[in-house]
């Protein structure tokens, strides 16, 4: 299991960032899961410097550029140098800001070129009776995986985040049964692009209103390999409770 904590821009002070990291390090010592933290870019180097814990670090996004006169951009190479071993790409908030499938595919290639593990986010906006949203998901996967080699494809972690479920309470989020069906569909779609044992070992996370109260229920029997957690990951008590809930599954 992987628990990836996307701090987004909820964390804006060094003191809070260090407090969250200290808590994550304590959890990681005994947790059955791998813990990956994705702090805001300005904190990445500071937190990752000299890290010898089980905690890994991810950059929240990378630029489509690889260097040069691009003010404000965070390149994949710079993120790797700062200590990131993982990189989130295609998050719904970045897609809402303008990243289309082609942009996500380009960023993904830059991440892989730097030897980082991509966490590729996919997810439908809404659901319809004709199940067109399934085609939407497959297209997100196909556009990202299509240009890559088998070796590159095998390193990608998928994070399924249905956009309609984000920001809701646990009670109004996706049901365990629906999540199980979606994970089966995603694995079926991945089988078109992965060969042999890579199909069975592909890692699929869930993100979308993940809280301590629903994490264990969503994890049991759904076929997921962990969670991409947003706001709940920026509160020590909440994140601790979530990790412990999944650890006892």
All structural domains of the chain with their residue ranges:
2-247
Looking at the annotation, which residues are catalytic?
91, 161
Question: The tokens of 28 are what?
Answer: 């990681």
If one counts every other C-beta atom within 10 angstroms of the C-beta of residue 46, the result is 14
pLDDT at 248: 67
User: Structure tokens of 185?
Assistant: 């569909």
Residue 166 confidence (pLDDT): 83
Instruction: Decide: helix, strand or coil at residue 99.
Output: coil
pTM of the model: 0.96
What sign results for the dihedral spanned by CA atoms 90, 95, 100, 106? Answer: negative
DSSP 126-144: ---TT-HHHHHHHHHHHHH
pLDDT (tens place) for every residue of the chain, 249 residues total: 999 999 999 999 999 999 999 999 999 988 888 999 999 999 999 999 999 999 999 999 999 999 999 999 999 999 999 999 999 999 999 999 999 999 999 999 999 999 999 999 999 998 887 889 999 999 999 999 999 999 999 999 999 999 998 877 766 779 999 999 999 999 999 999 999 899 989 999 999 888 888 899 999 989 999 999 999 999 999 999 999 888 865
Buried-state track 128-151, b at ≥16 Cβ within 10 A, e below 16: eeeeebbeebbebbebbbeebeee
Q: How many CB atoms lie within 10 A of CB 28?
A: 19
Tell me the backbone φ, ψ of residue 57, rounded to 5 degrees: -125, 145
- DSSP labels, 165-197: GTTS-GGGS--HHHHHHHHHHHHHHHTTT--TH
Confidence at residue 143, expressed as pLDDT on a 0 to 100 scale: 98
Res 249: pLDDT: 58
Distances from the Cα of 198 to the Cα of 2, 79, 184, 188, angstroms? 17, 27, 15, 12
Fold of the domain built from segment(s) 2-247: TIM Barrel (3.20.20)
In the beta sheet, which residues pair with residue 117? Answer: 86
């Amino acid at each position: 299991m992987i628990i990836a904590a996307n701090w987004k821009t909820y964390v804006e002070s060094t003191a809070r960032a260090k407090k969250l990291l200290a808590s994550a390090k304590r959890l990681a010592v005994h947790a059955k899961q791998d813990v990956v933290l994705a702090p805001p870019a300005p904190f990445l180097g500071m937190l990752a410097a000299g890290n010898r814990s089980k905690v890994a670090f991810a950059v929240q996004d990378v630029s489509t550029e690889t260097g040069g006169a691009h003010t404000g951009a965070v390149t994949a190479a710079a993120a790797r140098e700062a200590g990131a071993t993982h990189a989130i790409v295609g998050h719904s908030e970045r897609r809402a800001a303008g990243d289309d499938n082609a942009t996500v595919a380009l960023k993904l290639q830059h991440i892989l070129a730097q030897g980082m593990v991509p966490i590729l986010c996919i997810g439908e906006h809404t659901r319809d009776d004709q199940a067109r949203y399934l085609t939407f998901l497959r297209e997100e996967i196909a556009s990202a995986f299509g240009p890559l080699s088998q070796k590159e494809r095998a390193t990608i972690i998928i994070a399924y985040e249905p956009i309609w479920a984000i920001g809701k309470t646990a009670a109004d989020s996706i049901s365990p049964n629906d999540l199980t069906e979606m994970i089966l569909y995603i694995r079926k779609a991945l089988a078109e692009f992965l060969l042999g044992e890579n199909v069975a070992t592909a890692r699929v996370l869930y993100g979308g209103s993940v809280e301590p109260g629903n994490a264990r229920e969503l994890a049991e029997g759904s076929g997921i390999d962990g969670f991409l957690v947003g706001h709940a990951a920026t509160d020590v008590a909440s994140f601790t409770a979530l990790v412990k809930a999944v650890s006892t599954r």
